[in-house]
Amino acid sequence: MAEINLLKSLPKPKRNISNRNTEKTDHHIKISRQYGKEYFDGDRSFGYGGYKYDGRWVPVAKDIVKNYNLTKGSKILDVGCAKGFLVKDLVDLGFEAYGIDISQYAIDNAPKDIKNRLKVGNAKSLPYDDNSFDLVISLNTIHNLDRDECKMAIQEIQRTSKTSSFIQVDSYTNENEKSIFEDWVLTAKFYGYPNEWLNLFKESGYTGDWYWTIIK
Ligand SMILES: C[S@@+](CC[C@H](N)C(=O)[O-])C[C@H]1O[C@@H](n2cnc3c(N)ncnc32)[C@H](O)[C@@H]1O
């Protein structure tokens, strides 16, 4: 188990930290939690503000392969894969990658060449046998469940991974970061300081790696 910054090559999201409070309403939270068109390809105040394939995950895919010493034929699952861009980049590098996401819209709008590798489903109950994958990753997804469901999702990641797993979730390390996070958060239901997450990992029997998404 280790803390690893696997997403270090990803461009930082552009956020105007001072104006979130004025843009976030219960309506925004309700719509974004539907993970539909508005969340991915609607106005920025509902989520991504437009999410198209641009190759940003390629260096991350290479870092994942290197860090976990994956070899051609290694099987990887991305839990909360959105439109499957990371799955595509891993497949293009020669790996057996698959994805699952709760959003029918995201899967419908995935690149055509990898759509057959993606499923609509919930992280809290993965439709795969025990030890199905060499690596199971879940990036910025399981914090969208409440604490009990989040624990189920962590246990599912643990169950389906044969060797390695990696989870990245929302967190903060001081009161200032917490306040910025709480101004911004739309979809996350369970979040906390690193030690709160580490307690949940331990409680869930998780033996994989992790990292934090911190808005600064
Ligand atoms: C912030 S996006 C992250 C997407 C991608 N992993 C990334 O890092 O860019 C959160 C994703 O989690 C998905 N999601 C939310 N709740 C989920 C659940 N219970 N099970 C599976 N996917 C879920 C959403 O549809 C969305 O694609």
What span, in angstroms and rounded, lies between the C-alpha atoms of 72 and 36? 34
Q: How far is the CA of 203 from the centre of ligand 1 (A)?
A: 23
Q: How far is the CA of 103 from the centre of ligand 1 (A)?
A: 8
Residue 29 confidence (pLDDT)? 94
> What is the per-residue pLDDT across 51-95, written as a single tens digit (0 to 9) for each?
999 999 999 999 999 999 999 999 999 999 999 999 999 999 999
Ligand 1 neighbours by CB, cut-off 6 Å: 35, 80-82, 101-103, 106, 122-123, 139-141, 144-145
CATH number at residue 194: 3.40.50.150
**pLDDT-derived band at 14, boundaries 50, 70, 90:** low
Sequential DSSP letters for 138-157: EES-GGGS-HHHHHHHHHHH
The mean of the pLDDT values for the chain is 95
Q: Which residue minimizes the CA distance to atom 13 of ligand 1?
A: 80
Q: Which residue minimizes the CA distance to atom 1 of ligand 1?
A: 140
Token code pair at residue 172? 């903060």
Q: Quickly tell me which residue has 């469940």 as its tokens.
A: 145
Kindly tell me if the per-residue pLDDT of 17 is higher than 70: no
Residue 167 confidence (pLDDT)? 98
Q: Is 29 a member of any domain?
A: no
What span, in angstroms and rounded, lies between the C-alpha atoms of 97 and 209? 19
Per the structure, the count of domains in the chain is 1
Q: Is 109 a member of any domain?
A: yes
Domain boundaries, position 83: 57-213
Q: Is 197 a member of any domain?
A: yes
Q: Is 24 a member of any domain?
A: no
Sequential DSSP letters for 9-21: TSPPPP--GGGHH
Q: Is 52 a member of any domain?
A: no
**pLDDT-derived band at 216, boundaries 50, 70, 90:** confident
Q: Is 93 a member of any domain?
A: yes
Q: Is 5 a member of any domain?
A: no
Beta strands in 5-131 (DSSP E): 75-79, 96-101, 118-120
- Helix 85-92 vs helix 58-67: crossing angle, to nearest 10: 60
Q: How far is the CA of 16 from the centre of ligand 1 (A)?
A: 23
Q: Is 41 a member of any domain?
A: no
> What is the per-residue pLDDT across 122-140, written as a single tens digit (0 to 9) for each?
999 999 999 999 999 999 9
